[in-house]
């Protein structure tokens, strides 16, 4: 099954975007080719850009504290596994403590004059060529082990943020229970009567060759399935589609 996710607010959308960037960063930083490391460096700067434009650290810390308080309150409920609960609360506290102690995310990279100069040049199309930045080319022809060590040092300041948002998204995803549904003639509608969700997750069989386009507000959830024509243009599906839906909310 292929999983598609739809954020129901901008806060969750930002978390998903940053998670996507971290996934790309970790993948290319662990590869050995210099072109992979070029992408890893560019992705690091993408993360810095997001952290500069939004108080991502503060938002994640607020979410961690909110979840810690909610879980702590569950101790008063009968039937709660206190061992599992205590472990999760401890994870939240440790993750929040590491992130709070860090200060501004990625400040070490901002203070590095060479990286700061490189960040500005990479924003120019083709600006990473050896003719434009000889020092960047000199770094790229260093042994693979040296480049990988540098990348790990540059990534390390972002790890507390990554651990925090990963924990928040894990709790959010686990809050929903997947159910089997059918989109009649390719469309599914569900009235919510004022209840809101933060994340929708849809699983669909890849053999069907379709993908969902989703929207949600406090009144309704829409899931509309489409397929792509020869020019990749989306076309609405008019046959019944079986899928799985999870509505997630803290």
DSSP annotation string for 27-58: HHHTS-SHHHHHHHHHHHHHHHHHHHHS-HHH
- Residue 222, pLDDT above cutoff 80: yes
Write down the pLDDT at residue 7: 97
Write down the pLDDT at residue 203: 98
**Domain map (residue ranges) of the chain:** 8-169, 175-246
For domain 175-246, the CATH architecture is Sandwich (2.60)
- Residue 31, pLDDT above cutoff 90: yes
Contacts of residue 174, defined as CB under 8 A and 6 or more positions apart, other chains included, come to: none
Write down the pLDDT at residue 198: 95
Write down the pLDDT at residue 206: 97
- Residue 196, pLDDT above cutoff 90: no
pLDDT-based confidence at residue 54 (cuts at 50, 70, 90): confident
Write down the pLDDT at residue 78: 74
Burial 202-218 (b: 16+ CB within 10 A, else e): bebeeeeebbbebebee
Q: Considering the entire predicted model, what is its pTM?
A: 0.92
Write down the pLDDT at residue 81: 77
Write down the pLDDT at residue 76: 74
Across 1-5, 6-10, 85-89, 143-147, least confident range: 85-89
CA atoms of 174 and 95, how far apart (whole Å)? 18
Average pLDDT, the chain: 93
For domain 8-169, the CATH architecture is Orthogonal Bundle (1.10)
How many residues are there in the chain? 250
Write down the pLDDT at residue 75: 76
- Residue 18, pLDDT above cutoff 80: yes
pLDDT-based confidence at residue 92 (cuts at 50, 70, 90): very high
Write down the pLDDT at residue 72: 86
Give the pLDDT confidence of 100-130 residue by residue, as tens digits.
998 889 999 999 999 999 999 998 898 889 9
CA atoms of 65 and 54, how far apart (whole Å)? 19
């Amino acid at each position: 099954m292929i999983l598609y996710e739809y954020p129901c607010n901008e806060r969750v959308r930002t978390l998903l975007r940053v998670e996507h960037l971290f996934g790309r960063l970790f993948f290319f930083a662990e590869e050995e080719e210099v072109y992979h490391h070029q992408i890893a460096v560019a992705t690091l700067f993408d993360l810095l850009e997001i952290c500069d434009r939004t108080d991502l650290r503060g938002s994640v810390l607020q979410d961690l504290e909110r979840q810690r308080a909610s879980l702590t309150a569950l101790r008063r409920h009968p039937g709660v596994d206190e061992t599992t609960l205590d472990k999760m609360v401890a994870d939240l506290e440790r993750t929040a403590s590491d992130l709070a102690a860090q200060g501004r995310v990625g400040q070490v990279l901002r203070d590095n004059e060479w990286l700061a100069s490189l960040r500005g040049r990479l924003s120019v199309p083709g600006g990473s060529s050896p003719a434009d930045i000889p020092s960047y080319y000199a770094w790229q022809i260093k042994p693979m082990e040296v480049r990988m060590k540098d990348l790990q040092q540059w990534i390390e300041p972002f790890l507390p943020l990554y651990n925090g948002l990963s924990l928040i998204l894990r709790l959010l995803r686990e809050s929903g229970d997947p159910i089997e549904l059918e989109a009649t003639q390719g469309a599914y509608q569900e009235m919510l009567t004022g209840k809101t969700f933060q994340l929708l997750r849809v699983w669909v069989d890849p053999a069907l060759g379709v993908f969902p386009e989703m929207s949600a507000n406090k009144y309704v959830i829409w899931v509309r399935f489409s397929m792509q024509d020869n020019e990749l243009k989306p076309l609405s599906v008019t046959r019944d589609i079986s899928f799985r839906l999870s509505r997630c909310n803290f």
